[in-house]
Structure 1
């Protein structure tokens, strides 16, 4: 199933091109268009703050890509053909999510290089940095499973595309692009408890970049533990839900 998705991308390379270029575009847009209007507490370079947040936002992209892929296969009858073959129900979504993680890993390379060019640096050492990238791929795996469940639930490619726009709100309502300290109290609480904020703060911590504020909520004050906790809970929920939905979906 992993090979099938790789061959599918070769015939339609648009997804690969978007994965390579979209994070870099966001970095240049937010870093240079809005960067001069964002002031960090204690000073610091906004673009160095932004790059780890964009890593986390890229990991969230697994929701959109997996949702579209799953809904497309269902609508075109591919899922029905797979059900006639002697294979595990786990194999289909597992192969798709594995491919999505590989695609995300490739997309981290140009973003890291572009981030380095605009001033971002890894200041925490090679070991913590490797842990940060591993955390990003784990979170991409989590969001891919969630996206496949949504795609099987919607069943229609058009519906998945319409809902896809809402997935961009996940990193916007977090600390991925701006610090949450200046938000109203209720909004800051929602942003700090957003799993994206925990992943973004964990990446900044592991890369040796900006630290969370002293009065931050628990997920942002303990981002690595919160990120791993979110990942464990979401995988425990959506892996069996996706496999069950695949087994029950029809036509």
Structure 2
């Protein structure tokens, strides 16, 4: 834990000295929220009951977590390609602390960004009806998703030979929310896209977040969201540990 806290302090210092990472993790989700509410809101809410922002916030939170994971992938890859992790391997420190520092730092940064997104949403007219227990459940699910995607980001950063090679992961993480229920209901989509949106992991996660915040039924989506998060977290953790344990 002492080594992990040292690595966490290192990552926090890197974050404060890297404005682009702060802008990507914190600024872009807020810009997306303003864009969809102010520019596309009337069109996307046509024929819907209630304000579109109430439907939108869960999707923007999902994008927030995705941007945080892509930032982590780049940070880990920079450590790998610059030789810093090779130097850490020669030091008398816990190997797991290097990855743990990245994961904890990224998770904290992403959750702070999520709080900012919710605050801006309230200023724009977001009026959820969920009680304290519902919001606690939403926060727990969001934290679980953050940890899952962050471990995947760490694994991608370890596997990619260059920072540019992390681009496919960034593209997938940014594209999948648009092919889910994050911004429009899957029922409004057509053909294969509707089928894909109904079976990809981000749809039950988004629906569960939205239901917990708005106090609407989530049914089977809640357990499915937790299961998907656990699967993604386990896969990312196992992949990252396997890559990191290989001697170069």
Q: Is TM (by shorter chain) over 0.5?
A: yes
Contact 1:97 1:144 in 2 (8 A): yes
Could you tell me which residue of structure 1 aligns to residue 3 of structure 2? none
Aligned to 1:25: 31
| Cα displacement (A) at 1:87 | 2.7
Deviations 1:112-140 (A, max 9, x none): 11111222123111121121022111101
Partner of 2:9: 3
Greater mean alpha carbon deviation, residues 82-91 or residues 167-176: 82-91
Shift of 1:13: 2.9
- Provide the rounded CA distance (Å) in 1 between the counterparts of 2:157 and 2:247: 11
Q: Any stretches of 5+ residues in structure 1 without a counterpart?
A: 213-220
| Offset from partner CA, 1:70-91 (integer Å, 9 cap, x none) | 1111111111011111233322
Judged with a 3 Å threshold, the aligned counterparts in structure 2 of structure 1 residues 40 and 53 are, in CA distance, closer, same or farther, namely farther
TM-score under structure 1 length normalisation? 0.89
- Aligned equivalent of 1:35: 41
**Residues 67 and 160, structure 1, Cα contact 8 Å, conserved in 2:** yes
Moved segments of 4+, more than 3 Å: 39-42, 209-212
1:62–1:141 contact (8 Å) kept in structure 2: no
Deviates further, 145-154 or 87-96: 87-96
Q: Report deviation, 1:237.
A: 2.0
CA contact (8 A) 2:131 2:215 kept: no
Match of 1:55 among 43, 58, 61: 61
Partner Cα distance (1:157, 1:240) in 2: 21
Find out whether 1:72 has 2:78 as its counterpart.
Answer: yes
Q: 1:249 offset after TM fit, Å?
A: 5.9
Could you tell me which residue of structure 2 aligns to residue 90 of structure 1?
A: 96
| Separation of aligned partners in 2, 1:130 and 1:156 | 39
More helix by share: 2
Give runs of aligned pairs for residues 41-190 of structure 1, distance below 5 A.
Answer: 43-161=49-167, 163-190=169-196
Looking at structure 2, the residues matched to 97 and 41 of structure 1 have their Cα atoms a distance apart, in angstroms, of 41
Distance 1:3 1:223 in 2: 37
Gaps of 5+ in 2: 1-6
Size of the aligned set, in residue pairs, is: 242
2:238 is aligned, of 219, 230, 240, to 240
Query: What is the deviation of 1:192?
Result: 2.1
Q: Distance in 1 between matches of 2:62 and 2:15?
A: 23
